[in-house]
Amino acid sequence: MDDLPGIVIAGASGRMGRMLVRTVLDSDKARLSGAVVRPGHEWVGKDLGTVMGGAPNGVIVTDDPLEAFAGARAVIDFTTPRTTLEFARLAAQARVVHVIGTTGFEKEQLIALEPCARHAVIIQAGNMSLGVNLLTVLTRKVAAALDADWDIEIVEAHHNRKVDAPSGTALMLGEAAAEGRGISLEGNTEAGRDGITGPRKRGAIGFSSIRGGDIVGEHDVLFATAGERIVLRHMATDRGIFARGALKAALWGLDRKPGRYDMIDVLGL
Ligand SMILES: NC(=O)C1=CN([C@@H]2O[C@H](COP(=O)(O)OP(=O)(O)OC[C@H]3O[C@@H](n4cnc5c(N)ncnc54)[C@H](OP(=O)(O)O)[C@@H]3O)[C@@H](O)[C@H]2O)C=CC1
Ligand SMILES: O=C(O)C1=N[C@H](C(=O)O)C[C@H](O)C1
């Protein structure tokens, strides 16, 4: 058991954090070596199994990320953009694989990750599921086959606790569509339509966001032209798909050189 690579879950008390803890504990390829929560959180210093409502498992929850990272091979991080930036610097210091599922980054924050990738493997994706990553490949292909007479719209739906929009997945799909069409997404986006918007800009890629209840994550890529429409759809019904993808990424990253990677690399798509 001690031979298995140790994985730290950052943001262990979150929706994804809890799912990741269970996924690593259930795995026969990795062991849970640490759980990090926000400083001052009520779980600090307590047994993780107990605070999650089960039997003690010997993992004591900490608010000291560097100490936890130093005793691990990889950290899986689904937290907030600011926290992830801080953790990227610490993961680089500890030379551990950093799997980033966090979404909602500003452009400058993504650039700030670059220096960290000189020292550690960073695997980042707005969606860690096999289905969505396959959907990005399909989106790129369909967009490449169609001209700008086909309007591209990305519609995403999530639970009412989500804080960023459009979702990280929607942006991944938008990037894939733009790449297929041979344009840059920046400058060719239409989002948040409201009021007298005027007609749709030809060639733009549109984004719409729905927030409600406990929707795990749904994404449609719509290609619409006169007389016909194509809809590519992914529906997530269980957060386990993201957690299993993230664990796969962490294990894949153990044998790589420092640098930046995504789930398309991990899955070989
Ligand atoms: N790439 C993918 O496949 C997926 C990505 N996501 C993304 O993952 C992120 C998290 O989502 P979700 O789990 O739903 O959100 P939650 O808000 O439930 O979880 C975030 C967690 O991060 C913790 N956190 C915040 N600051 C710190 C800190 N300084 N140190 C340690 N922990 C900290 C929060 O703690 P506290 O509450 O105490 O502040 C919370 O437990 C989002 O960006 C989401 O979009 C989600 C699903 C799939
Ligand atoms: O916040 C979520 O829940 C999710 N976030 C990711 C995103 O922003 O696309 C992935 C998934 O859709 C769930």
Dihedral pair phi/psi, residue 50, rounded to 5° = -65, -45
The predicted-structure confidence for 181-191, as pLDDT tens digits, reads as follows 999 999 999 99
The answer to whether 162 is a known catalytic residue is yes
Q: Which residues line ligand 2 (CB under 6 A)?
A: 103, 126-127, 158, 162, 167-169, 217
The predicted-structure confidence for 138-168, as pLDDT tens digits, reads as follows 999 999 999 999 999 999 999 999 999 999 9
pLDDT at residue 88 greater than cutoff 70 = yes
The predicted-structure confidence for 222-251, as pLDDT tens digits, reads as follows 999 999 999 999 999 999 999 999 999 999
Domain layout of the chain by residue ranges:
6-124+239-267, 130-236
User: For a pLDDT cut of 70, what percent of the chain falls above it?
Assistant: 100
Rounded Cα distance, 196 and 138, in Å: 33
pLDDT at residue 116 greater than cutoff 80 = yes
At 1 the pLDDT is 63
197 is known to lie in a ligand binding site: no
CA 227 to ligand 1 center in whole angstroms: 42
**What average pLDDT does this structure show over 246-263?**
98
* Residue whose pair of structure tokens reads 């996924």 in the numeric block: 23
The predicted-structure confidence for 8-30, as pLDDT tens digits, reads as follows 999 999 999 999 999 999 999 99
**What average pLDDT does this structure show over 117-124?**
98
**What average pLDDT does this structure show over 81-101?**
98
pLDDT at residue 204 greater than cutoff 90 = yes
Which ligand is closest to the CA of 156, given by its number? 2
**What average pLDDT does this structure show over 81-108?**
98
For the entire predicted model, the pTM comes to 0.98
Question: Which residue spans within 159-195 are E strands per DSSP?
Answer: 189-191
**What average pLDDT does this structure show over 197-220?**
98
The pairing of beta strand 121-124 with beta strand 259-261: parallel
Question: What's the fold here for domain 6-124+239-267?
Answer: Rossmann fold (3.40.50)
Q: Give the CATH superfamily of 130-236.
A: Dihydrodipicolinate Reductase; domain 2 (3.30.360.10)
Q: Could you tell me the pLDDT band of residue 134, with boundaries at 50, 70 and 90?
A: very high
Name which residue sits closest to atom 11 of ligand 2, judged by CA.
Answer: 217
Q: Which three-class secondary structure state does DSSP give residue 180?
A: helix
CA 79 to ligand 1 center in whole angstroms: 3
Instruction: Tell whether omega for the bond before 166 is within 30 degrees of 0, i.e. cis.
Output: yes
The answer to whether 41 is a known catalytic residue is no
CA 16 to ligand 2 center in whole angstroms: 10
The mean pLDDT value of the chain amounts to 97
Q: Could you tell me the pLDDT band of residue 85, with boundaries at 50, 70 and 90?
A: very high
Rounded Cα distance, 269 and 266, in Å: 8
CA 191 to ligand 1 center in whole angstroms: 24
Q: Using most ligand atoms within 8 A of CB, pick from 77, 130, 169, 215 the residue to mutate for ligand 2.
A: 169
Q: Which of 158, 219, 234, 248 is catalytic?
A: 158
Q: Could you tell me the pLDDT band of residue 257, with boundaries at 50, 70 and 90?
A: very high
